[in-house]
Structure 1
Amino acid sequence: MIDFIQQNILFSLLIVNYIIAIGTALFIILNNRNPVTTVSYILALVVLPFIGLLIYFFFGQEYRKDKMFKRKKVFDNKTVKKWENKLLLNKFRLENYEDDFLGNKVNIVKLLQNNQKKPLTFGNDVKILINGEKKFESLFEDLKKAKHHIHLEYYILNYDKIGSELINILCEKAKEGVKVRVNYDYVGSQLSGEGVKKMKACGIESFPFMPVWFPNLTRKLNYRDHRKIVIIDGKVGYVGGVNVCDEYVNPNNTGYWRDTHLRIEGNAVKSLQSHFLLNWNFVSEQEIEIIDEFFPQLDDCGEVPVQISASGPDSDYPHIMEAIFTAINGAEKYINITTPYFIPNDQILTALKTASRRGVKIKILVPKTGDSWAAKYATNSYILDLLESGIEVYHYCKGMVHAKTMVIDDIFSTVGTSNMDYRSFEINFEINALVYNKDFSKKMVQIFEEDIEHCDKVKMEDWLNRPLNERLKESFSRLWAPLL
């Protein structure tokens, strides 16, 4: 037997591979996951010997049922509950808003309030920041005014030109006595040892989100903190698509980068704060003392209602996906979507197609080239479905569009970190601001129309006549869509 194995080493390894693959496939099936995701992983196990096993063990394991976060230690805190209870709207008041300005969009508010206990907050001022240069100009100005604390959470925090400028400001504030806490994703960021040492030397607390050192590599690599938020003194918050990276600042040497971020001042910042504290407890392995200064009493800063929704494997439900699903199903006039990756699950795709066929005008803007070969072709594989249902698709040609936005019916908008894909809906830790305001929606529509001026509209005739090799790439990429 030993001689046979030595003489047929490759064949023997294949047998071992498929024994393990069969056991893994049975485990995946017993988990009762999304059938599309299940089939994708089983397909990888069958057609990609050895590689399929690596794909599953690195990317296929779920955390949602593990409850790895100590959520209640934050959300049961008296200070958090005090402001949450104060801002939470009861059923009667929500019904009044349904008759007033929200209409059926009140269903989105109810969904998140019931499932996530996230209130619709009032008294907010919200500014739209186009691209990295506007975001960092505003952010740096606010950081320099900080008096008590600065909290940052980023998927990409690089120690490059813009990153070092940010860290320099944080160090200056830390030396002034401002408490600075930084949470950065271990996989997404390129924060050199020099950057980490500099922050530590200045008294800044910083922790990486889920480092992927062995032996925990296989359990952690797939689940990343994709959020980009900043909270300053519990009064000013930032959320959106712009990471801390030179690539996001125009002009640069890598081409034009189109993105959208928000600056929020008001009660919605309290929701951003609570989610930061939740993750901070996890990455620091501490239980942070929650003090009143994290949730200060605020005068009305504006008139914009905002609701913050976050989701991730630690949550009971995919809150952001469910909010988007509810918004699409409630659309009556139009839906404008901008996303760098359009790889929807069946629920979102069906909701969009049926909304279009009942008369809702839908436009979807995606990059023509993109920054990922697989994501580009997976996105393109859905275009024919969309066109056949009357949905207009636009390819952004000026550069990379990375904004994650949606506007519906002159009243509802969402801006945040969540892409329109499986990974954002089910795997990554994401956070979005949901804005219910006519003036804000009007500005978002204007920005969308300006972006369309830099687009090619996809025409049915041209799309049907695209080369066969393009179709093959699309079909191949779509097979792996749940894994991208």
Structure 2
Amino acid sequence: MKQKEHLNRGKRGILSVIFGRTGILLILILLQIGLLLVGFRFLSNYVFAIYGGAMVLGFLLSVYLINQKGNPAFKIAWMVPILTVPVFGALFYLYFHLQMESRLLNQQVVKEVARTAELSEQKEEDRAALEKESPQVANMVSYLRKVSNSAVHTNTTASYYPSGESAFDVILRELSAAKHYIFIEFFIVDQGYMWETILEILRAKVKEGVEVRIMYDGMSDYFRLPIHYARHLNEEGIKCQVFSPIVPLLSTVQNNRDHRKIMVVDGHTAFTGGINLADEYINQKERFGYWKDACLMLKGDAVQDFTLMFLQMWNVVEYVKLSRAERENAQNHLLDEYRRYIQMPIPKCEEAGKGFVIPYDDNPLDDEQVGELVYLDILNTAKKYVHIMTPYLVLDHNMMVALTYAAKRGVDVKIIMPHIPDKEYAFILARTFYNELLEAGVEIYEFLPGFVHSKIFVSDDEKAVVGSINMDFRSMYLSFECAAFLYRNKEIHTIEEDFQNTLKECEKVTGEVYRSQPLWKKLAGSLLRLFAPLM
């Protein structure tokens, strides 16, 4: 069994490389070399004209890129293949930016968010209370309100779980208590003990008349689950959809994936965080040592925001499959459909008025790097400390400046990283950032028992973020993400306590540890950093 599992994992890894951007880039380089060889042999009279035309196209695309909005790192990463392998580099760029299915999906996301913006209710008394408590945080929330329709809530209870297994029993309890509906949206769903246990409850709930909807990313559909798995769930009465299914050679595993983790029960309880629905996330199966993750449960008004996030994405996926006439008919009933789920009665929470909760999502299609900007805001306003857990560390210039500036002005900045990585290339790449961070006074620790998958920011015993947002280009710029920002909420102390407990199982990274890496890893990291935004 273990041998079969190992072979399947290896197969998935190979497929991920083959159909990912990195694999396609390597293939295109080989194709260009082959074209040159064939050209000199059979097309000697035309090869220079073809190559010259490709260079002109590459130059024009480079000019176009330079004049576009966006992170300079992405522009450089695209310009390298465009200018170094001009025949296929330009086609490579056009291939990723002219996919009609992706463009249709992207357009629908933007429209759906705009159409349903009015359903995100902001209670004036909650906004005023935050303004009185902290004008600075209120300003940040004002930004979130403008760009992602986020609202601040006081009638919300937060409960933090420092591992997948500690959250699992609570998740099962809440699912078992559902009376009206269950919404589930995760990046990864994989067969095994965790998913089968949840699925058994969902099947029972469907028989009781509870509406159950499940949505997972196309990567699970392609790499993790049996063929037509969504169809099988639908036949059992569980409504299921796949976000952006993977089509080999026609779509890419990195292109605007749904990386969010959302579970909503009856409109009054929501879960988010780092865990997915697979056995490694609750340490039922060992992958990369002990799997350190986190989960946040919310009860109260803030749950409505996660309900809205789910419904928006669900309808986007559904509408893309419909004809134009069917879409127009469906949109006529859109707001009434949403209100039926969002306006469920929510009781007064025991901790109402004791702290603030601000759910938010990050849409990679709106030119707003919400996830990164919230992290930057925490770093730039911290007075005492910022403590971070993240599985990946692939930083752009803005994040590097914020981390090093915070450390240089005396803020205690600590980052916990995995010691056993899930992706060796990502770990090699992350370590290229260590030296600059260490020199500035940022402390880096690696979790010796295994892999850290938590995405945690906690600062000054006042602010914390728990969600799906990693510190890498994919999370900050390419994926759909979500999180909850806590301000002066009692669970912030629990999150910091988890950080300190995790720190006890870590090894501190020093300059000597960094310098003692094998030369080949340093060279590989330097090369990977050039293409980091595209990985």
Q: Does TM, scored on the shorter chain, surpass 0.5?
A: yes
Distance 1:333 1:52, change over 3 A: same
Per the TM alignment, residue 479 of structure 1 is displaced from its structure 2 partner at its CA by: 1.2
Deviations 1:329-364 (A, max 9, x none): 111110001100011211111111111111111001
Aligned pairs for 1:271-310 within 5 A: 271-285=305-319, 287=331, 288=334, 289-301=337-349, 302=351, 303-310=354-361
1:260 to 281, 288, 294: 294
Instruction: Name stretches of at least 5 consecutive residues in structure 2 with no aligned partner.
Output: 1-37, 320-329
1:174 and 2:206 aligned = yes
Distance 1:54 1:75, change over 3 A: closer
1:141 and 2:177 aligned = no
Aligned pairs for 1:27-66 within 5 A: 27=61, 29-31=63-65, 32=68, 33-47=70-84, 52=89, 56=93
* Structure 2 match to 1:350: 401
CA contact (8 A) 2:468 2:482 kept: yes
TM-score, L = length of structure 1: 0.89
1:467 and 2:500 aligned = no
* Structure 2 match to 1:339: 390
2:267 to 234, 252, 272: 234
Q: SS where residue 140 of structure 1 aligns?
A: helix
* Structure 1 match to 2:107: 68
CA contact (8 A) 1:25 1:42 kept: no
Deviations 1:146-199 (A, max 9, x none): 111111111101133322222222122112111111111011442324743441
Letter in 1 for 2:77: S
Range 59-68 or range 418-427, more displaced: 59-68
1:431 to 479, 482, 490: 482
In structure 1, C-alpha distance between the alignment counterparts of 2:190 and 2:391, rounded to whole Å: 21
Per the TM alignment, residue 61 of structure 1 is displaced from its structure 2 partner at its CA by: 6.8
Per the TM alignment, residue 216 of structure 1 is displaced from its structure 2 partner at its CA by: 5.2
Distance 1:225 1:14, change over 3 A: farther
Deviations 1:1-59 (A, max 9, x none): xxx95834799789857744652563354142422211112223445687756764565
Distance 1:172 1:470, change over 3 A: same
Deviations 1:357-413 (A, max 9, x none): 111110011112311122111110110110111110111111111000000111000
* Structure 1 match to 2:440: 389
In structure 2, C-alpha distance between the alignment counterparts of 1:64 and 1:338, rounded to whole Å: 34
Per the TM alignment, residue 97 of structure 1 is displaced from its structure 2 partner at its CA by: 2.0
Instruction: Name stretches of at least 5 consecutive residues in structure 1 with no aligned partner.
Output: none
Distance 1:280 1:30, change over 3 A: same
* Structure 2 match to 1:478: 529
Range 363-372 or range 462-471, more displaced: 462-471
CA contact (8 A) 1:119 1:307 kept: yes
CA contact (8 A) 1:88 1:120 kept: no
Aligned pairs for 1:74-473 within 5 A: 76-77=115-116, 81=118, 84-86=121-123, 89=126, 93-98=129-134, 104-189=136-221, 190-193=224-227, 195-213=229-247, 217=251, 222-254=255-287, 255-285=289-319, 287=331, 288=334, 289-301=337-349, 302=351, 303-473=354-524
What number of residue pairs does the alignment pair up?
473
Letter in 2 for 1:249: I
Deviations 1:398-436 (A, max 9, x none): 111100000011100001001011111111000011111
Per the TM alignment, residue 276 of structure 1 is displaced from its structure 2 partner at its CA by: 0.7
Q: SS where residue 105 of structure 1 aligns?
A: helix
Letter in 2 for 1:340: P
Deviations 1:269-300 (A, max 9, x none): 11111111110111111655223343323222
Normalized per residue, which structure has more helix? Answer: 2
In structure 1, C-alpha distance between the alignment counterparts of 2:262 and 2:95, rounded to whole Å: 27
Range 329-338 or range 294-303, more displaced: 294-303
CA contact (8 A) 1:417 1:431 kept: yes
In structure 2, C-alpha distance between the alignment counterparts of 1:8 and 1:201, rounded to whole Å: 56
Q: Percent identity?
A: 29
Q: SS where residue 217 of structure 1 aligns?
A: coil
Distance 1:85 1:442, change over 3 A: closer
In structure 2, C-alpha distance between the alignment counterparts of 1:336 and 1:362, rounded to whole Å: 6
Q: SS where residue 355 of structure 1 aligns?
A: helix
In structure 1, C-alpha distance between the alignment counterparts of 2:47 and 2:237, rounded to whole Å: 52
